[in-house]
């Protein structure tokens, strides 16, 4: 059994109840602060000199309270704070002191640290890349999601690890989040839409359905 790579790795776990149904005409931002949190999250990527994968990893490292209790845009806000801490744009405790002062308190804010941004620059805009090697797996190929305990960021859900599926679509090659989030190279590779049967993932008593997940080439191996 591999451990979860973070609080975000909730797929296939029990006890959460049914997924909420979106409301008809639901606004993008139900409250003004949510729009500001979204904007601050995008700004944090630019200010910290990082990338979207590093931001996802910053959210994935949140504790249960910060990830769940403050809602969807709350975790974006906390993730942005993590990212700014990582690059020493703000000091730990800055956000708490600023919030207290805005509420009428008188808390001394920590001195701004010396920025320590990663040595990172993307090779092109976006995440799509051209790669010289052909796809390793063809449409219709039987594949298995690898089982591993990620030391850092990954987009491979724990609940598909070790399970077999079928390639249905070969997607364009993309930057690998596992290395890009840690500024260890883009490692661009093919991405595959893989179809899994519910019984394969959740056992013979599962309600019959299929689940298709986009998985990077490094996440897959040939299935017997």
pLDDT band at 10 (very low <50, low <70, confident <90, very high): confident
Which CATH code is given to the segment(s) 142-222?
A: 2.30.30.50
Rounded distance between C-alpha atoms, residue 190 and residue 131, angstroms: 8
What residue has token string 């149904």?
A: 21
What local confidence, expressed as pLDDT, does residue 59 receive?
Answer: 95
What is the DSSP track for 162-218?
A: T-EEEEEEEEEEE--HHHHTTTS----EEEEEEEEEHHHHH-TTSPS-EEEEEEEGG
Are 197 and 210 contacting, i.e. CB atoms less than 8 angstroms apart? yes
Please, which pLDDT band fits residue 21 given cuts at 50, 70 and 90?
confident
Question: What are the tens digits of pLDDT across the range 163-199?
Answer: 999 999 999 999 999 999 999 999 999 999 999 999 9
Rounded Cα distance between 197 and 126, Å, is 32
- The predicted model scores a pTM of 0.90
Domain ranges of the chain: 32-102, 142-222
Percent of the chain with pLDDT over 90: 79
pLDDT in tens, 57-96: 999 999 988 999 989 999 999 999 999 999 999 999 999 9
């Amino acid at each position: 059994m591999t451990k979860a790579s973070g609080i975000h790795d909730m797929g296939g776990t029990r006890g959460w109840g049914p997924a909420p149904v979106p409301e008809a005409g639901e606004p993008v931002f139900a409250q003004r602060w949510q729009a500001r949190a979204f904007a601050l999250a995008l700004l944090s990527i630019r200010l910290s000199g990082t990338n979207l994968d590093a931001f996802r990893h910053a959210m994935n490292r949140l504790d249960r309270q910060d990830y769940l209790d403050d809602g969807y845009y709350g975790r974006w806000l906390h993730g942005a704070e993590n990212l700014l801490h990582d690059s020493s744009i703000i000091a730990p405790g800055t956000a708490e002191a600023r919030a207290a002062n805005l509420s009428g308190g008188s808390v001394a804010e920590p001195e701004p640290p010396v920025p320590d941004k990663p040595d990172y620059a993307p090779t092109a805009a976006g995440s799509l890349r051209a790669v010289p090697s052909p796809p390793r797996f063809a449409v219709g190929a039987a594949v298995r999601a690898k089982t591993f305990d990620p030391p850092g960021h990954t987009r491979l859900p724990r609940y598909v690890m070790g399970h077999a599926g079928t390639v249905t679509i070969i997607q364009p090659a993309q930057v690998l989040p596992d290395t890009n989030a840690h500024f260890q190279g883009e490692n661009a590779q093919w991405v595959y839409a893989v179809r899994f049967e519910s019984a394969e993932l959740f056992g013979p008593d599962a309600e019959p359905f299929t689940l298709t997940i986009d998985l990077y080439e490094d996440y897959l191996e040939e299935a017997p």
